[in-house]
Amino acid sequence: MSCERIEPTLIGHYKKDESYEQMLLALNQSLASSHDQNLLELPEDYSTIHIVGAPRSGTTLLSQLISANLDVGYINNLIASFWRAPCYGIRLSEKLLAGARPYSYSSDLGRTASIQEPHEFGYFWRYLLDYPEMAEQPAGFEQHIDWVRLRKVLINMTHAFDKPLVFKSFLLIWHLKRMQQVLPKSIFLWIRRDPIDNGLSILKAREAQLGSIDKWISLKPKEYVWLQHQPVPSQIAGQIFFTERAIAEQVGQIGSNNTLIIEYRDLCTNPQGVLEQLLELLKNNGQTVKQISSPPAQFPFSASPTEHYLRDQLRAAYENLQAQTG
């Protein structure tokens, strides 16, 4: 996969530096063959932890909380540059950063600033899952994913860290059950946010990153085919509703020993409680993980303005979808 993007072009300081992107692409292409030749056949000794949820639901804050306070591996902004040679990126990060952890719980619409902060690793997931864009693929697509290769790469990455590894895994939402079959120690953390607050945050991201609330951003469920022609509130309500319905369908096929549902409000009001729940889930999967620091007692709870001009329309659109689907 190249770093070509099908999604609308980002604007302002969100816009990607194309010359830098091409440099990274050339770097990854030059390292890929050597990296893949050095992958080993290894056992699944460590869990991979996958944070899933609708766009703007709190996935970044949850990844920061876990990465800063638990002794797990995570993808930082340095490692993310090596999407075709992730084990090289991990080794380089361990050497240069000497185990430095995230220290900030801030982000700019999901983007973190410092080199040791978490990154969603989007190019990596698009490459391994062979996705042309951030859109749900047709029925049967899952059969074409190279799950043997994906298992090998992820296991080698956990062994490079010598500990469980946490990801933000947006594209994986349509394949959670298959992932759990391929890697039985997989853990899935589904974060949910009030759908109206969630939707208004997506509106903010559309305007800031694309320059217009009329342009679609991030995940496209299969219903995008008709949602794209609907009014903006219906688009966003549908994006959240159908994304969460897909996650619910996948989670429903996985045992409770591998899943944890986290409410955004609980993440903000009791972050230590969320960590303790995760530690218990890891323990149930045979993973002994230490807590290496303590989080703030609370995070600021980010709720959208009650007077937002699209709030009522967004609520009506969401409730209409609920009524139509039962």
The tens digit of pLDDT for each residue in 46-55 reads 999 999 999 9
Across 48-52, 126-130, 179-183, 255-259, least confident range: 255-259
Give me the pLDDT at residue 124, please. 97
Q: What is the mean pLDDT of the chain?
A: 94
pLDDT band, very low/low/confident/very high, at 326 (cuts 50, 70, 90): low
Q: Name the pTM for this structure.
A: 0.95
Structure tokens at 293: 């620091």
Over 60: is that where the pLDDT of 2 sits? no
Q: What average pLDDT score do residues 120-133 get?
A: 95
Q: What is the mean pLDDT of residues 222-231?
A: 97
Q: What is the pLDDT of residue 116?
A: 95
- Residue-level pLDDT at 4: 44
pLDDT in tens, 57-97: 999 999 999 999 999 999 999 999 999 999 999 999 999 99
Predicted confidence at residue 305, as pLDDT, reads 65
46 neighbors 158 (Cβ within 8 angstroms): yes
**Does position 313 have pLDDT exceeding 70, yes or no?**
yes
Span 261-306, pLDDT tens digits = 999 999 999 999 999 999 999 999 999 999 999 999 999 887 666 6
Dihedral sign computed on CA atoms, order 26, 30, 31, 33 = positive
The mean pLDDT value for 129-144 works out to 95
Torsion sign over Cα 174, 261, 263, 49: negative
